Amino acid sequence: MQKIHILGIVGSPRKGKNTDSLVQRVLDGAKDVGAKATKIYLNDLSIKPCQACNRHPFPKYCFYHDGMTKLYKLFATVDGVVLGTPAYYETISSQTKLMIDRCNCLSQITKTPSGKLHFTRRIQKSKKGIFIWVADCSQNIKPALLSIKFWCQDINLKIIQIIKMHHSDRPDSNREKLLKKAYHAGKLLVDSIKMG
């Protein structure tokens, strides 16, 4: 049987810091229950901003061929995704937003005769995932979640757990507790995927 494949996406440019460590712990938990893990640092990929070209690149996902080409392939094949981003200006990092905007072509938006918007997904593989948000002083995750939830529709992902860190670089960040939580979340993610 093929191993469950979990993709970890790090939206912070700081390797080895809070976001990266939490994503890594989720992947560690997943690996310890037999999953295969792939970690991507968005900051290492060259991703051009969406140009809103409004063309339909079918059967390709986008006319650009850059760092997103690899991610599109992974979105179509992996079983689970863990996305971690720092809170930048109350929302998400620019690295994360670049990636999200480039997923606009993954669902085609049409209007029904009554004027309602209808989304047709191009990625059929349904996935489960975890969202990690790392903030210093910000408390309100809702603005970040607005983008994330919209992106989830496009890549066919259901978030089953959210992990929030506050006071990220301070002693009261609950770092050790959250790293344990992330590890267990990785195990639970794989269990949940297995259960279907």
Residues that bind ligand FMN (CB under 6 A): 12, 14, 17-20, 86-90, 134-138, 168-169
Q: Which is nearer to ligand FMN, 19 or 104 (CB)?
A: 19
Q: How far is the CB of 43 from ligand FMN (least distance, A)?
A: 10
Q: How far is the CB of 94 from ligand FMN (least distance, A)?
A: 8
Alpha helices in 79-137 (DSSP H): 94-101
Contact between residue 88 and residue 143 where contact means Cβ atoms under 8 Å apart: no
Q: Which is nearer to ligand FMN, 22 or 190 (CB)?
A: 22
Question: What b/e string do you get for 129-163 counting C-beta neighbours within 10 Å, with b at 16 or more?
Answer: bbbbbbbeebeebeebbebbeebbebbbbebebeb
Q: Which is nearer to ligand FMN, 15 or 149 (CB)?
A: 15
Q: How far is the CB of 89 from ligand FMN (least distance, A)?
A: 5
Q: How far is the CB of 139 from ligand FMN (least distance, A)?
A: 8
Nearest Cα to 165, choosing from 151, 144, 147, 148? 144
